[in-house]
Amino acid sequence: MDAVSRRLLKELREIDKEAEAHPEIVELAPESDDDLLRWRAILAGLPDTPYEGGQFELGIEVPSNYPIQPPIIKFITPICHPNVHFKTGEICLDILKTAWSPAWTLKSTILAISVLLNNPEPSSPLNCDAANLLRCKDKLGYESLIRMYTQLFAVKQ
């Protein structure tokens, strides 16, 4: 077994051990038993946020030289957020690019994305419409837009 597989199996054991400590992570696991380099996560929208009630799927591609290189993580579920591209699901987050460190795990990275949902950075937007609402200090408009898209795409009917 190679070093990447050993690291990912260790991370998987840690995720299972600490599952109850992070209710925002509904699921974080490899897509299949045959391929440890393709994972999927489901993040729950936190209570008292415009994402409340939503469940957002993310696709995770682990590079063959992980943890030296960061994973590629994208939202599969459409989500309205200043730092997420609505069509591609690309996430603008420094730890997924220049600020990556091998100390990060898949779980800590998913938790950082959860924190980003409630702490957007409108100065580096991938969704200009959402970012502009925040820049104009239109919190009501911003949260209404988020709630609408959460209801449309992330709430199971």
Active-site residue list: 92
| Sign of the torsion angle spanned by Cα atoms 146, 96, 34, 30 | negative
Q: Cα–Cα distances in Å, from 76 out to 60, 81, 92, 132?
A: 10, 14, 15, 24
β pairing state of 72-75 and 35-44: unpaired
Annotate 19-36 with b (16+ C-beta within 10 A) or e (fewer): eeebebbebbebeeeeeb
